[in-house]
Amino acid sequence: MDAHHFLETLTIVLGTAAVTTVLFQRMRQPVVLGYILAGFIIGPNVAVPLVADRAVVQTLSELGVILLMFSLGLEFRLGKLVQLAPTAGLTALLQSSLMVWLGFIVGRLFGWSNVESVFAGAVMAISSTTIIAKAFDEQRIRGPLRELVVGILIVEDLIAILLMATLTAVATGSGLSAAEVAFTTGRLGLFLVGLVGVGLLIVPRAARAVVRLGRPETTLVASIGLCFGVSLLAHQLGYSVALGAFVAGSLLAESGEQEKIEHLVQPVRDMFAAIFFVSVGVLIDPALILEHWAPIVVFTLVVVAGKVVGVTIGSFVTGNGVRTSVQAGMSLAQIGEFSFIIAGLGLSLNATREFLYPVAVAVSALTTLTTPWLIRGSGAVANLVDRKMPHALQTFVALYGTWLEQMRSGPREATRGSEIRRLIRLLILDAGLLGGTAIGATILSEPTSRWVERELGLARGPAKIAFVGVSLVLILPLVAGVVRVGRRLGVAIAEAALPSRAGTLDNAAAPRRAFVGTLQLAIVLLTGLPLLAVTQPFLGGLAGPALLALLLLALCVAFWRGAADLDGHVRTGAQTIVETIIEQARSGEEEEEQGPVSQVDVSAHATRVQELLPGLGAPSFVELESSSPAVGQSLATLNLRGVTGATVLGITRKGGGFAVPTAREALQAGDVLTLAGTRDAIAAAREMLVQAGSSRPMTATDRAAS
């Protein structure tokens, strides 16, 4: 390739992208769509005298992926990633398993082979880091939502690497071997541990030394050089360049100079990221889209619906509120660069026919178009979901996060922690045995039936029936074991958050039952969906999905009963709190005449409420002043729970109080609101309800509220 040809391609790409992005900005549309349109215009499939070299565009787009991942890494120090692992990791596992299974089922419905359907499921499982990073930057999304989504994306990239290694083994005839998967996982873990361990010793110190030189161009060159170097190392060892770039950014973030580096890298990153989206548009072929329009439409709908549901459920059960969970689900409803790689892998290994790659490109392009609008509308959808939930479910979702928060912040007991770890190991063992037995029974069914027919003289039909019977005898106890261990694990976790007290009235019984039911439902989902994704290609049919559906249905019934009991418990508890506040306020008025209220008395009051009603977390009290923006608004209009995640348990008003107010209740100056929720939710609710800068003296009621 000569320099003139390269310059010509770069001119066409950037010139066309400049025109389309200006037009889309004028129309107030996402500029990503402008980039994709530019790629479509300069691609080989449109009769326009502007054709860019696809190979050059693809090479440049790789640089965009690397720099975008590098910038994301700069935002995430390694400690923050470790904190996100329990939530983001489990959410990524749940949604990836769901999408692999759904993709396989849809592929089989279109008549594709087993291997092609497995590749289709893998293509649909991984969301696009590049697309989401660009959309979040455009809409300036920061905070917990961005942290959660990026954490999920990083785990998905690791899952994609394992999927590619496993699919390669399957496509080349090596078979789906547990030893192969374990080896691949261990090798990846060793690579990451070694890279991070060595990097932490060298990179932060070197970065600080370079920044101290005071030369921005030196800092930029050194940072991007490190980024490309680690990306190349990852590529040479068979891993994703995006993963290497992210690790490089995270290592630089440990230096404390990430803001300066990010500011310098941003213009370069934005230019090459634009070329990446142009490259997506170049791949769009209208003829192939028309030829395969049916699977494209179906897979697009499956990707959007499946990822929204999977990520939302996974995010919620791991401790995020309804609003954050819905927003995360709607943000991740697309596929991207890894999908192209997996589809290309299947084609290169002759495991799939040529149709899968254009289907992946078209689905990626369509979901890229919908992503900005889904992200923009996610807040309104989250509010709608919150409003339409039954009251018992609203109460449950407001308190569920507080139970997880209590478990994480409670005292560490060695015996309880070791018991939880032991149960997790047992659960993994039972699930592994269940999956291995089911797959083994399917593989051995035909040869065993032939052997029985040949050696024992039994007809093929009865031989198969006997083999199925023996297999069920082995499998059903393992299924029961998974459910039993899941319940024991749920009870152990619930006891850590809401411990029972022998010999006294157990005020936490109703919350604990609801918590156990939710945990058991989550554990069966997190165990059952990966098992279903792995075993479905071997088992076929509906036996596996039907069994999982029956288990989930039974657990949902138990969960709903627990939520209804919890709602009654909360109503009673809220009434108790309101009456206690009124009594405290009356005694406070008498004490104000005699002298200041003792802070010890107020603390004792707060402690007493928590002891009486441990399942309500740490109720917080807020008095509305006349200057509060909430005065005069109804709870429905204010939408406090939908926006912040905190719920109003009760309102105390001069002349009397009442618990669990209706959504139509209008707030008045002087109302004392009893709030329940996580610490972050309570803090956000206070910010909405209390106007900053108030200088009114604190009364006895205020002291009780504090």
* Range(s) of the domain holding residue 7: 1-41
**Average pLDDT value for residue range 203-222:** 90
> C-alpha distances in angstroms, 79 versus 12, 164, 249?
43, 28, 13
- Is the pLDDT confidence value at 597 over 50? no
Query: Has residue 165 been placed in a domain?
Result: yes
End of a domain among 503, 533, 568?
A: 568
Are residues 556 and 588 both part of a single domain?
no
Residue 705, pLDDT score: 36
As given in the structure block, the two tokens for residue 471 are: 């297999």
As given in the structure block, the two tokens for residue 647 are: 């719920």
Which one has a higher pLDDT value, 577 or 700?
A: 577
Q: Encode pLDDT of 73-125 as tens digits.
A: 887 777 777 777 778 889 999 999 999 999 999 999 998 988 889 899 999 99
Rounded distance between C-alpha atoms, residue 653 and residue 642, angstroms? 24
As given in the structure block, the two tokens for residue 126 are: 């991984």
- Residue among 265, 262, 228 at smallest CA distance from 248: 228
End of a domain among 548, 568, 588?
A: 568
Are residues 375 and 437 both part of a single domain?
no
Q: What percent of the chain has pLDDT over 70?
A: 84
Question: For residue 466, which phi and psi values (nearest 5 degrees)?
Answer: -65, -40
Are residues 590 and 680 both part of a single domain?
yes
Helix (H) or strand (E) holding 495: helix 460-497
Residue 91, pLDDT score: 92
Rounded distance between C-alpha atoms, residue 680 and residue 156, angstroms? 27
Are residues 563 and 602 both part of a single domain?
no
- Is the pLDDT confidence value at 594 over 50? no
- Is the pLDDT confidence value at 263 over 60? yes
Residue 237: CATH number of its domain = 1.20.1530.20
Pairing of strands 620-623, 672-676: antiparallel
Query: Has residue 281 been placed in a domain?
Result: yes
**Average pLDDT value for residue range 65-79:** 79
Residue 701, pLDDT score: 36
Most confident of 69-73, 318-322, 641-645: 318-322
- Is the pLDDT confidence value at 601 over 50? no
Rounded distance between C-alpha atoms, residue 569 and residue 554, angstroms? 23
Residue 320, pLDDT score: 85
Residue 704, pLDDT score: 37
Mean predicted lDDT score pLDDT of the chain = 80
Maximum pairwise Cα distance, the chain: 100
Query: Has residue 682 been placed in a domain?
Result: yes
Residue 581, pLDDT score: 62
Rounded distance between C-alpha atoms, residue 213 and residue 202, angstroms? 17
Residue 259, pLDDT score: 83
Residue 612, pLDDT score: 59
**Average pLDDT value for residue range 394-399:** 83
One-letter amino acid identity for 577? I
Q: Encode pLDDT of 454-499 as tens digits.
A: 767 667 677 777 777 777 788 888 888 888 888 888 888 888 877 7
Q: What percent of the chain has pLDDT over 90?
A: 10
Residue 414, pLDDT score: 58
Cβ neighbors of 370 (< 8 A, separation 6 or more) are 304, 333, 334
Query: Has residue 96 been placed in a domain?
Result: yes
Residue 267, pLDDT score: 86
| pLDDT band at residue 505 under the 50/70/90 scheme | low
Query: Has residue 398 been placed in a domain?
Result: no
Q: Encode pLDDT of 184-209 as tens digits.
A: 667 777 888 888 888 888 989 998 99
Are residues 425 and 529 both part of a single domain?
yes
**DSSP code for 85:** I
C-alpha triplet 189, 191, 194: angle, nearest 5° = 105
Residue pair 653/670 in contact (Cβ under 8 Å)? The answer is yes
Rounded distance between C-alpha atoms, residue 234 and residue 60, angstroms? 18
Which one has a higher pLDDT value, 87 or 45?
A: 87
- Is the pLDDT confidence value at 165 over 70? no
Query: Has residue 653 been placed in a domain?
Result: yes
- Is the pLDDT confidence value at 166 over 80? no
Are residues 596 and 503 both part of a single domain?
no
Residue 706, pLDDT score: 34
**Average pLDDT value for residue range 552-559:** 89
Most confident of 26-30, 74-78, 341-345, 511-515: 511-515
Residue 629, pLDDT score: 84
Which of 2-6, 113-117, 407-411 is least confident? Answer: 407-411
**Residue listed under structure tokens 């999908």:** 339
Query: Has residue 397 been placed in a domain?
Result: no
End of a domain among 538, 568, 598?
A: 568
Q: Dihedral angle at the C-alpha atoms of 319, 322, 326, 327, nearest 10 degrees?
A: -80
Rounded distance between C-alpha atoms, residue 397 and residue 681, angstroms? 12
Domains held by the chain: number = 4
Q: Encode pLDDT of 237-257 as tens digits.
A: 877 777 788 888 888 988 888
As given in the structure block, the two tokens for residue 428 are: 């993994």
Are residues 119 and 34 both part of a single domain?
no
Are residues 239 and 367 both part of a single domain?
yes
Are residues 456 and 558 both part of a single domain?
yes
Residue 698, pLDDT score: 36
Residue 184, pLDDT score: 67
Are residues 512 and 615 both part of a single domain?
no
Among left, alpha and beta (phi > 0; psi -120 to 50; other), residue 307 is alpha
Most confident of 46-50, 114-118, 307-311, 701-705: 307-311
Query: Has residue 137 been placed in a domain?
Result: yes
Q: Encode pLDDT of 622-636 as tens digits.
A: 888 888 888 888 888
Q: Encode pLDDT of 139-151 as tens digits.
A: 888 888 888 898 8
Residue 609: CATH number of its domain = 3.30.70.1450
Are residues 30 and 96 both part of a single domain?
no
- Is the pLDDT confidence value at 315 over 80? yes
Concatenating the DSSP letter of every residue in 369-409 gives HHHHHHHHHHHHHHHHHHHHS-HHHHHHHHHHHHHHHHHHH
Are residues 257 and 211 both part of a single domain?
yes
